[in-house]
Amino acid sequence: MSAPELATVEIETGRNPSGTVIWLHGLGADGHDFEPAVPALAPPGSPPLRFVFPHAPVRPVTLNGGARMRAWYDIGGFDRHAAQDERGVRASDEAIRALLRRENQRGIATERVVLAGFSQGGAMALFTGTRLEQQLAGIIGLSCYLLLAASFAAERQPANQTTPIFLAHGSLDAVVAPSLGEDTRALLEAEAYPVEWHSYPMPHAVCAEEIAAIAAFLHRVL
């Protein structure tokens, strides 16, 4: 399936980065959303990293009355029985894989890449990460859920069976219910993925404690 080439915001924390973090934003945001977090994610003394923040395509979003905004896929609702935009998910998966190939061409092996995201972006990080044929350094899913769960068992690849997965969710999240994050955690743990789970008393957002935990995770895996 063809996919658009994604424009990106990129920050390198030093010369000759030894690893890459591809970070996918949430619904309606853009690649600049988590740019301010870079100094906290890679504090002084950390190995030099490249942060790649892609912009999702602009598309109408059913949940928001058909308004056009940046989105990795259309959302009709967060109800467990709501239809999922498989075509949009798979197109974004192809676009993310293209970003991974570009990092390979720039000298960063896939095993030195962390795929991360918040909300919709976190859902895509989990989707691509578990279905990827090459091993990643790590996967980060924040305030998100597992997409197309019915095809997960058939499509997941062994390459990332042992890849560390960082999951975090706000216990007060009124957008993506905490139960969706907890169900995702349970499903991955049932399949023996090494999941690091964090819960914070916050809404659909990130907090300083969470950023610090992610920074420690990045330091471990990269």
Q: What is the largest distance, in Å, between two alpha-carbon atoms of the chain?
A: 48
- The catalytic position among 92, 93, 119, 143 is 119
Instruction: Give the per-residue SS3 of the chain.
Output: CCCCCCCEEEEECCCCCCEEEEEECCCCCCCCCCHHHHHHHCCCCCCCEEEEEECCCEEEEHHHCCEEEECCCCECCCCCCCCECHHHHHHHHHHHHHHHHHHHHCCCCHHHEEEEEECHHHHHHHHHHHHCCCCCCEEEEECCCCCCHHHHHHHCCHHHCCCCEEEEEECCCCCCCHHHHHHHHHHHHHCCCCEEEEEECCCCCCCHHHHHHHHHHHHHHC
Active site residue 173: yes
Copy the structure tokens of residue 92. Answer: 């974004």
Active site residue 81: no
- The catalytic position among 173, 179, 199, 219 is 173
Active site residue 79: no
Copy the structure tokens of residue 145. Answer: 């859920």
- The catalytic position among 46, 183, 199, 204 is 204
Question: At residue 70, what are phi and psi to the nearest 5 degrees?
Answer: -70, 125
Q: Which residues are catalytic?
A: 119, 173, 204
